[in-house]
Every structure is written in structure tokens, then in C-alpha cells.
Amino acid sequence: MDQALAASTLRDQDSAAADLRDWLTSLGEGVDLGNVGPEFLLVYLEEEWLPSHPGRKRGRAGPKAVAGVLSSLSGWFERFGRAGPYQPATGVGNPCNCQWVSDYRKGYRRGGMLEGYEEVSAVPLTPEKYKRLCVYLFQRYLGEPGVVAGLVLLRDLLCSQYMWQSTMRGHDTGKLGLADFCDPDRPGAVDTRLPLPPPWSWPAGRQYRLCVRERGTKTSRTRRADPVFLEPNPGRPELCFPRTLALYMWRSAQPGAPGCAVRSWLFRPLTSDRRGFKEEPLSSSALGARIRRHLRDADLYAGETSHSFRRGALQAAAAEGVGTAGLMGLGQIRSPAILARYLDPHRHGARQVV
């Protein structure tokens, strides 16, 4: 089932796989998409894909372009039954999901930096766009008859709410787990209220305030991060993280949603058959692709990424008068110089250095 994938994503995956298939066929060595391994894949990238996909300002494509084609190929392999880590001994699994390809991507990115490649900073998401995106996702959920497709929309809405309200990066958002939720009155203790009851069962005036202390974030690698408080918003349910979380966890645990119940990771990717969720965190690349898709579908897209939530939320807080100390606490930023980069309204205009 591909109903949870955007048509543009399917086209990108099919196109990338078709190009690889044609190249494999031209070799005449009996290798096809059903048995290709990472060694052929890496040769294809160096000898065929890169020469035919030069960068706009340099001789070679940028690291993000390489990551993009590998992501498209990986998604295609998963759709057609080659899921999971690649096993060299048996040739089973996704050839894009192996240490060789991971090392290649990292090495290509480092090499690009040495050659003068500079990544463009994320375009800040404006508060108005954030609110409109949440309204769009909530309305899409209300009109979605499919159980899994509806849960995917709720998941994406929760991710959007969390990234804005916590200013957490996409990578840290994707690996948020139930064990990261703490008692808001005692942030060192587990929140025993989870899962919250469904919103329609809450007594009049009852609201929930949540607290998160993630483990192993980019800022706090060896300990739990500082507490992040997620406040209720009874007047705007589409912006209320506690309410959306309650709805998401209740819906995922119903008998009509087998394989969907939240057990550990809160935000998970779909299984290869699109009938349930894998028990693993949602990757930052997958989250970014979903965000871009929704922004485009809602006619809101202007180059934003998942990191745009972090930049936009910090800039919005600064515009509301929050001081340097408060902003550094909100973003869990240790350096004033780094904060200044987030607050620079023109930084996303940087391009590649030639």
C-alpha cells in the first residue's frame, strides 16, 4: 500500500530505480534490482549518477543531492520487499541500508565541505505558517477515512507541534520516546499519567501539561536534556500537543489499528506494506520529506525544512521580547554565537561558496 506516500515521492523513487535498473542492464552481468548489492550501487553513483547530475555551481552534485537519490532508492527497495539492513552473506535486505553506503554518504559530505560546499541555512518558519500548517493537518485528519493514513497525519501534526513548541531538531524529534516524558512537577520522575485518556472523556476544564527530558540529544549527548514543558491550548485544539498526543495514542491502540500501538518510540516510520508502523524512530530525512510534502499541499512551501521550525520558533520568541538567557534556555543552546546564527533573519540566504 502506497497511500501514505505522496505521488511526487513515488515518482522520485520509481525514477531513481529505473535509472539504476537501466545501468545494471547495460553491464550485462546478471545483476538487477532484486539482487544488487551496495558495491554495485556505489559504483553506479560514482560512474553514472554523479557525472550525469552535476551541481548548478560546481562540477559535482552537493551532498544533499546524493543523500536524496539514496533516500529515493532506499524507499523503492523497501516498497518492493527489500527491507531491513543489508546482509552481505545472503544478499538479503536493502542495499542502501548498510555501513558501506553510510560511510560513503558521510565521506562525500566531508569532501564537499573541504571543496567549499556550504549548506544553506533553513528558511525560518513563520508563526502564521506554523498555525496554518497545523490547521491543515488537523482538517486532513478529520476527513481521512483510512485508519493508518489518519494516524500518519496525526503523527505529522504531533511532530510539527513538538518541533515548534520545544524547538527540538528534526533528528531529536524523530527519536522521541515514551520514556522521555517526565512528571511536570517532578522532572526527574516518570509521568505515570500516560497514555492520557481520549480528549472527549476529559472532565470540563481538565487540561494536561506535559514535560519532556529527551536522552542523547545533539546538545545533551550523555545525559537527559533540560526539561521542555508542553502547555495545553484548549482554545486551539489543532495547536495543542497534549490533546493531539492523547488522540494519537488512543487511536493507535484501537482494535481496528493492528500493529499501530505506541510502545516505545512515539514517531515511527511505516512498515514496507504500509499497514502498520516499525518499532524504530522516524529519521530526520523522512520527517523532512513529510514536512515539505504537507507545506506544498497546503500551498505554504517556500523552501522550509524540519529545521525551519527551530529557527522560526526562536525568532518568534525573540520578536515577543524573550531575552538572550530565555532564548538559550528555550533552544538548549550553550553559545551566544550559535544563538545569534539562529536569530539572523538573513542567514538562510547563504549559498554555496565557489
Separation between Cα atoms, residue 164 and residue 311, nearest integer Å: 9
Does residue 182 sit in helix, strand or coil?
strand
- Please say if the pLDDT value at position 13 is more than 90: yes
- 172-to-86, 137, 149, 226 alpha-carbon distances in Å: 25, 21, 23, 13
pLDDT digits (tens, 9 = 90+) for 265-321: 999 999 988 899 999 999 888 898 899 999 999 999 998 989 999 999 999 999 999
Q: Which of 92, 114, 136 is the last residue of a domain?
A: 114
What pLDDT is stored for residue 1 in this prediction? 46
Peptide bond into 195 cis (omega under 30): yes
What pLDDT is stored for residue 354 in this prediction? 28
The count of structural domains within the chain is 2
- The whole domain housing 253 covers 127-331
Alpha helices, DSSP H, located in the chain: 7-27, 38-44, 50-52, 63-79, 99-114, 127-142, 147-166, 170-174, 241-252, 284-297, 307-319, 324-331, 336-343
Residue 172: φ, ψ to 5°: -70, -35
The packing angle between helices 307-319 and 147-166, to 10°, is 40
Pairing of strands 181-183, 186-190: antiparallel
Cα of 136 vs its chain's centroid, Å: 18
**Grid cell in block for residue 294:** 504537507
pLDDT digits (tens, 9 = 90+) for 134-187: 999 999 999 999 999 999 999 999 999 999 999 999 989 999 999 999 999 999
pTM: 0.69
Does residue 220 sit in helix, strand or coil?
coil
Same domain, 88 and 179: no
Separation between Cα atoms, residue 284 and residue 177, nearest integer Å: 15
Does residue 175 sit in helix, strand or coil?
coil
pLDDT digits (tens, 9 = 90+) for 48-58: 898 888 765 45
Same domain, 39 and 167: no
Same domain, 200 and 281: yes
Within a domain: residue 191?
Answer: yes
Average pLDDT over residues 76-97: 94
Same domain, 162 and 292: yes
Same domain, 105 and 154: no
Separation between Cα atoms, residue 303 and residue 4, nearest integer Å: 22
